[in-house]
A and B are shown apart, each in its own frame.
Chain A
Amino acid sequence: MTAGGHERRWAIVILAALALLALLPLTAPRDDVLNFVFLILLAITLAESWNIVAGYAGQVNLGHAAFFGLGALVTRMLWTEGAPVLLAMAAGAGTATLFALVIGVAAFRLRGAYFAIGTLALGEILRTTVGNVLPEISTLPAATIASYRLTQRYYLALGLAAVSVIAVAALATSRLGLGMRAIREDEEAAESSGVGALSLKLTALALSTALAGLAGGLFAYYHISYYPSHPFGPHWTFDALLMTFIGGVGTLQGPVLGAILYIVLKEYLALRWVDIHLLIFGALFVGIVLLLPGGLVQAAERARGVLGGARRAA
């Protein structure tokens, strides 16, 4: 892999696209268009944040929803108590990261599938506990609803998606990212050549969960009412995982492409086949995995390779 150049080019392309999306509210589109793009932007942030631990440090974290949920929980509490939303989001992200570091020390003793199962269990335990302790639906006060502006949420989502893309691009081209990839490929070999595996994994987890916490904060700022345990639901983890793998894990552009495809497909099916859309979605999904095992990025590379080979032969 050519170090960095590839990622930098993609980062420029994605950021340019996001800059174009910044013009969208100026054209005064319908709210549903903004809401739809918001969903994609939130999905990009979530997928890129998951990609950091899975794609660079090589650890499949199935408890990602816990950090998204914690970010949402803390942000919602502070913000509805009157704190400025950005401050509340920062506190939410901080809480998520702190929790991740505490849990990470124990969880990273687990390898491979055990890490996946352990983190899944952690996330679920947190979800049930929050559901038990805070069973009431959380709704914004009437005054806040009256002053609700969708464009503010939209720009925040846009900014967050840009931050996550920049963070992953910076990581991919840095020494830190190189160390993480060394762990992913062969942990023992990396350790014996002086790479501190645990501290690098914890760094990856901290960065990933900070972004997930911010995304959770955005969710809390965006939704008028929801059950506090909802953002802890395992589908947030699996959404992030599916989008990242469909696109291409361990690449910058993969999760972005995956997120777009995933949200567009899911929303389209939900509109087209209301009551059986999840059945079709699940089946389609299995098909994609079987046909494109390396995700869209690898499929595109293979296609380019085949085309290039044909051109050379001609």
Chain B
Amino acid sequence: MSVLAQQLLLGLLIGGLYGLAAAGLSLVFGVMRVLNVAHGELIMLGGYGAFWLAALFGVDPFASLVLVIPGSLLLGALLYWGLFGFVVRAHEETRIKNSLLIGFGLALALHALAVRLWTADERSIPTSYGGAVLSVGELSIPLVRLATLTLALVLIGALQLLLSRWRWGKAIRATAEDWQAALLTGIDIRRAYLLAFALGTALAGAAGTLVTVAYSVSPSIGLEWTLKALIVVVLAGLGSMLGTFVGGLVLGLAEAASAATFGGPYREIVGLVIFVVVLAVRPRGLFGR
């Protein structure tokens, strides 16, 4: 029993990162209607940002968020100007197609670049508090992972606040809701797209930092994280960042539960069944409007 509880707990802890990874993708997809399949590579870049800040300058990985987030914002803006800004000029159908093409090309290039610059080795950040564990009854909670879950929740909360209070946050939501109506009310939707993409990239960078602190980073983690994020986006549906976060927790728990019940190799099959059932019952996702 306690083994199962421990596994579920670990599932919940990684689920928070699934949620954070998915939030950025959901924001970009919801607002721009483009599918950025290079999202995982942006997470990977954020992870390397934190790794090198720690390795070269001894910056604490949690403190490095203060630098990684603005850096990712800037990277997002550059990617929007250089690539994705062209995609949103097309019709919605063409956008999906072109974003897949550009995203895949970008993912290939970023992955190859990361291997070239930093080798294919797996890297993690050693910290003095890395092994600390909080014992609650028979459960042992790794403190670093608990901190990443908490920080993920804080970031999601901050984003939710930004989207509901800030003038441009409202503009982003209006654009997501109905871009034509948003345009008619005088919203600069190109700017809303730019901000959404930059914010989405910043969230990816933050997620990458937390992934690297709690687990590790290597050039090949991109695809895996893109997929987890995509599954969460579909499971949770569009429209609520908090819903996306909960969707991440659900996926983490479901993976842990099925690994515990059916053994590691069949873990993904249970994920598949849950995924298909949710889609069949609620095609717009658990929390989608």
Instruction: Give the interface of A toward B (CB within 8 A).
Output: 58, 60, 62, 103, 106-107, 109-114, 116-118, 120-122, 124-126, 128-129, 132-133, 234, 238, 241-242, 245, 249, 275-279, 281-283, 285-286, 289-290, 293
Known contacts A279-B113, A282-B107, A285-B101; is-contact A132 B264 (Cβ 8 Å) = yes
Q: Is B230 touching A120 in the complex (CB atoms < 8 A)?
A: yes
Q: Does B90 contact A (CB under 8 A)?
A: yes
Known contacts A117-B35, A278-B112; is-contact A286 B105 (Cβ 8 Å) = yes
Q: Hey, which chain B residues are within 8 Å of A241, CB to CB? A: 100-101, 104
Beyond A122-B275, A286-B83, A289-B102, 8 extra complex contacts between A and B, CB < 8 Å: A109-B283, A112-B93, A117-B234, A120-B230, A125-B271, A125-B275, A133-B265, A290-B102
Tell me whether chain B's interface is mostly helix, strand or loop, or mixed. helix
Which 9 A-B residue pairs are closest in the complex by CB-CB distance? A282-B109, A282-B108, A132-B265, A279-B112, A285-B105, A278-B112, A286-B105, A125-B272, A289-B101
Q: Hey, which chain A residues are within 8 Å of B102, CB to CB? A: 286, 289-290
Instruction: Give the interface of B toward A (CB within 8 A).
Output: 29, 33, 35, 83, 86, 90, 92-94, 96-98, 100-102, 104-113, 116, 223, 227, 230-231, 233-234, 264-269, 271-272, 275-276, 279-280, 283
Q: Hey, which chain B residues are within 8 Å of A118, CB to CB? A: 234, 275, 279
Distance, CA A81 to CA B267, complexed state (A): 29
Q: Is A276 touching B227 in the complex (CB atoms < 8 A)?
A: no
Q: Hey, which chain A residues are within 8 Å of B110, CB to CB? A: 282
Q: Is B280 touching A106 in the complex (CB atoms < 8 A)?
A: yes
Q: Is B230 touching A117 in the complex (CB atoms < 8 A)?
A: yes
Q: Is A114 touching B283 in the complex (CB atoms < 8 A)?
A: yes
Q: Hey, which chain A residues are within 8 Å of B279, CB to CB? A: 106-107, 109-110, 118
Q: Hey, which chain B residues are within 8 Å of A238, CB to CB? A: 104
Known contacts A120-B227, A125-B271, A129-B269; is-contact A282 B280 (Cβ 8 Å) = no
Q: Is B266 touching A129 in the complex (CB atoms < 8 A)?
A: yes
Q: Is B33 touching A113 in the complex (CB atoms < 8 A)?
A: yes
Output the nearest chain B residue to A289 by Cβ-Cβ distance.
B101
Could you give 12 example pairs across A and B, Cβ below 8 Å?
A60-B100, A112-B96, A121-B227, A128-B268, A132-B267, A238-B104, A241-B100, A282-B106, A282-B112, A285-B104, A286-B109, A293-B94
| Nearest CB of B to A290, in Å | 6
